[in-house]
Amino acid sequence: KPNTCPILIPNPNPSPNTLTLTKAKRKEQWEAELRKKSGVDGFAVGDYGYFTQYYGNVFRFDLVTFDNNNVILREGLNISSTHPFEDCFEKDGYGYFVPSPYYGGTVVVRFDLTIFDSDEDSVSSLLKELDISGVFGGNLGFRSGFAGHGHGYLVPSNMGSSFNYAGHGKVVRFDLLTEPEPEPVPETTEPEPEPEPEPPEPEADFSTAHMEMLNIPEVTNNSLLKDFAFGFAAGDYGYMVNNEY
Q: What is the pLDDT of residues 37-62, one digit of tens each?
A: 556 678 899 999 998 877 778 889 99
The whole-angstrom separation of Cα 141 and Cα 159 is 5
Q: Are 97 and 112 in contact (CB under 8 A)?
A: no
Q: Give the H/E segment covering residue 112.
A: strand 107-112
β strands within 8-117, DSSP E: 39-45, 48-53, 58-62, 72-74, 85-91, 94-99, 107-112
The whole-angstrom separation of Cα 58 and Cα 51 is 6
Number of other CB atoms surrounding residue 51 within 10 Å: 17
The whole-angstrom separation of Cα 211 and Cα 152 is 10
Q: Are 53 and 40 in contact (CB under 8 A)?
A: yes
Instruction: Give the pLDDT score at 198.
Output: 65
- What value does the mean pLDDT take over residues 159-184? 68
**Residue 220 pLDDT > 90:** yes
Task: Give the highest mean pLDDT range of 8-17, 124-133, 138-147, 230-239.
Answer: 230-239
Which pTM does this prediction carry? Answer: 0.70
Q: Are 136 and 192 in contact (CB under 8 A)?
A: no
